[in-house]
Chain A
Amino acid sequence: MVATALSLAQNGSDFFQDRSESNCIRDDGAFCAGWVIENIDRYVQPTLEHLLLVTVSVAAGFAIAFAMAVASHRARWLVPPFIGVTGVLYTIPSLAFFFLLLPITGRGNLTAIVALTAYTLQIIYRNIVAGLANVPTDAKDAGRGMGMSDRQLLWQVEMPLALPEIIAGLRIATVTTVALATLAVFAGAGGLGPEIVAGSNITFRTGVVVVFVILVAMALAIDLLLLAVQRWLGRWRIAGEAPSRRKPRLRRLRALGSERA
């Protein structure tokens, strides 16, 4: 998949090879619907590239964070160092990260993917650990009473019960990455970033608005999709706590507040 991402077209397309008959670019009003209708197809390829950057980065981040969470579930002493290391990666601004990687990985999508992946680790790892910690003791005791081994307990009881919180982490990571991936343009990667700053795109108002709308719509769509998955996976919890509706709400708030304590 990384190979596909690498072969993506590079940025630098000239925005102003305009084929519309209107005077949108010359007038440069606040928003020119005619230009959008005539030129919307130019955004299809960058949008798909952007989506690919986000998907590859979050998928790689999830795979690494998941492996780390499983390892630290067995060996608890690993949790503080893992939180520390992912915390440092999370703190380094993406733009700086791209350029720190340049001497090692060179310009292009690989650099962007490595930096974006590193950024998602903290969010996803914390949520998996929190999800596993919030599994009710009763459920674990019941599993043990049935004669489950540690491994069986993890995969058949703890992971399924932690899934809603794990998906919640994925949602945060994905939405953030959609926004951050625009900066990948400075690392020479594709996506929607070049549509904002390459050439003199930044001074064309209608273009800026279009990209803004595409980005927010993309983040919203992915968020809602994952929210639906999260609700569906968490339906046991709602059924179990149906008599009092106040508690789950408080717990949800707690989960939000402790996102990065």
Chain B
Amino acid sequence: MIAMPLAFLDAFGGAIEFIFTPRESVGVQVEVGGLGQVSELLLEHVRLSAAAMAGGLAVALPVGLYLGHRGKAELLAVGIGNAGRAIPELALIAFLVAFVGIGFINVTIALIVLAVPPILTNTFVGVRQVDREAIDAARGMGMSEREIAMRVELPLAAPTIVTGVRTAAINVIATAAIAPLAGVLTLGDFILSRNVYGDEGVLAGAILIALLALVVELVLSAVQVAVTPKGVRLQRAAAEA
């Protein structure tokens, strides 16, 4: 009974050792693990996720702002968020491998497909729930429609938009972990190629991916606090008091 918890602690210890010190691979005689390879795969993981998020924001933000400002296509803007959740990540990557092709660009496009729905829906919803009086006041001050969208609706919707960005980022980082199936070597390679890295390498990969997701989530929640306009914060504090 005492040996069991010790056994799994041992496994975690081995995984941490894998992260810091290179070792010989299970099959062929190559060096695997260690900070060198870890940072290489980590960098690729971040690069892929960042590219997908940039693409997702570039598509979803303007479309969501426009539709939200005009109040058009609610069914589409909200429905796409719901439909996005139903996309099976593994099947999406398989679809890519079977039909489109592998490689960095193809995987990035697939991940953009995952990133767009939550950002688009939250941008739309965020803009729609901006106080009508604030918009009327802006119009009364002589702002153009473009100025209203950029200087009133966007800042007031920012906290809700970042919520969507957080959802998208988590999903993208998680799915980037299976990108090695489509030929992009991310941290997921440690997990998926057990015959090369061994059990400790697999566990090391899991620890690294979990840490990466948690760090990104922490950073984005700090961003969320930073972009929340002072007025909205005061309003919320007043509502809670």
Contacts and interface: CB of A to CB of B under 8 A. Distances in A.
A211 interface: yes
A223 B82 contact: yes
A197 B88 contact: no
Interface residues of B, number: 49
- Chain B CB within 10 Å — which of A98, A204, A254, A256 has the most? A256
A182 B214 contact: no
Contacts, number: 148
Among A90, A91, A92, A100, which residue has the most Cβ atoms of chain B within 10 A?
Answer: A91
B160 A211 contact: no
Interface residues of A, number: 53
Contact of B86 (A91, A196, A220, A259): A220
Interface of B is mostly: helix
Nearest to A249: B74
Contact of A93 (B160, B163, B181, B210): B210
Contact of B81 (A30, A186, A256): A256
- Tell me whether chain A's interface is mostly helix, strand or loop, or mixed: helix
Contacts of B170: 90-91, 93
B135 interface: no
B161 to A, nearest CB: 9
A96 B206 contact: yes
B181 A257 contact: no
A172 B85 CA distance: 8
A96 B98 contact: no
B173 interface: yes
Given A178-B88, A211-B91, A93 B174 contact: yes
B167 A260 contact: yes
Contact of A103 (B8, B173, B188): B8
A208 B95 contact: yes
Contacts of A209: 95
Interface of B: 7-8, 11-12, 78, 81-82, 85-91, 94-95, 97-99, 121-122, 125-126, 128-129, 159-160, 163, 166-167, 170, 173-174, 177-178, 181, 188, 191-192, 202-203, 205-207, 209-210, 213-214, 217
Interface of A: 30, 87-88, 90-100, 102-104, 172, 175-176, 178-180, 182-183, 185-186, 193, 196-197, 201-205, 208-209, 211-212, 215-216, 219-220, 223, 250, 253-254, 256-261
